[in-house]
Amino acid sequence: MKTFEFTSSLSPALRIVIFIAGLFPLIAPYELLMKPKWTTFASPFFLSGLLISLVAVGLSIGFLVAAVVGLNEVVRFNTVQRKVTYGFGAPFIKWRENHILFADIREVRVDTQTWESRPDTYRLRLDTTHTLGGRPIKFGNFATMEEAEKTQVEVRTVLGLS
């Protein structure tokens, strides 16, 4: 095996869907603040509409930012050159790559992402010695711990950490 990689990306179609979904909450400020033509701003109804509108605008901003700057990432293991390439970018963020030598990788761990409304998911994490400011590189998305641990063993073998 010469190379293998893990990719995580938002397709253009998904970005468009997220962007459009981000526009819908903007209906609230129009319906609650602009359309009624308020004569007094001290009304509890106006204040509750203002609060709802502020939350809606915040939600819209979150969706719009996610659609525009949601990262595409790739983690590529090259066994011939004995390095890991971590690349990331977005439509308005220039693609960047960092190269980490296998010798600079201390450990491969499994991280658990706990969710309130759905089952836990798992990612692998590369702990490096000095690259990226010592920050770990997280990659992969696994539905089960067994799947994550199996891939962890494969990655550790490729890196020579077994």
Q: Are residues 51 and 79 part of one domain?
A: no
For residue 54, give every residue at least 6 positions away whose Cβ sits within 8 Å of its Cβ, in sequence order, or none.
none
Q: Are residues 119 and 47 part of one domain?
A: no
Tokens at 57, concatenated:
């605008």
Phi-psi region of 69 (alpha: psi -120 to 50; beta: other; left: phi over 0): alpha
Domain count, the chain: 2
Q: Are residues 81 and 56 part of one domain?
A: no
Q: Are residues 29 and 107 part of one domain?
A: no
First vs last C-alpha separation in the chain? 17
Considering 49, 69, 89, which residue would you say is the last residue of a domain? 69
Q: Are residues 119 and 54 part of one domain?
A: no
Q: Are residues 38 and 78 part of one domain?
A: no
From first to last of the 162 residues of the chain, give the pLDDT tens digit.
Answer: 567 889 988 888 999 999 999 999 999 999 999 998 888 888 889 999 999 999 999 999 999 999 998 889 999 999 999 999 999 998 888 999 999 999 989 899 999 999 899 999 999 999 887 666 667 889 999 999 999 999 999 999 999 887
Residue 3 lies in a domain: no
Q: Are residues 86 and 36 part of one domain?
A: no
Residue 141 lies in a domain: yes
Residue 95 lies in a domain: yes
The whole model's pTM is what?
Answer: 0.73
Q: Are residues 95 and 20 part of one domain?
A: no
∠ at Cα 58 (52, 63), nearest 5°? Answer: 125
Structural domain boundaries, residue 93:
73-159
Residue 1's pLDDT is: 58
Q: Are residues 154 and 85 part of one domain?
A: yes
Residue 118 lies in a domain: yes
Residue 5 lies in a domain: no
Residue 6 lies in a domain: no
Residue 129's pLDDT is: 79
State the Cα–Cα distance between residues 105 and 99, nearest whole angstrom: 11
State the Cα–Cα distance between residues 144 and 122, nearest whole angstrom: 7
Q: Are residues 137 and 60 part of one domain?
A: no
Q: Is 116 helix (H, G, I), strand (E, B) or coil?
A: coil
Is 89 in contact with 98 (CB distance < 8 Å)? no
Q: Are residues 79 and 27 part of one domain?
A: no
CA-CA-CA-CA torsion sign (33, 38, 41, 43):
negative
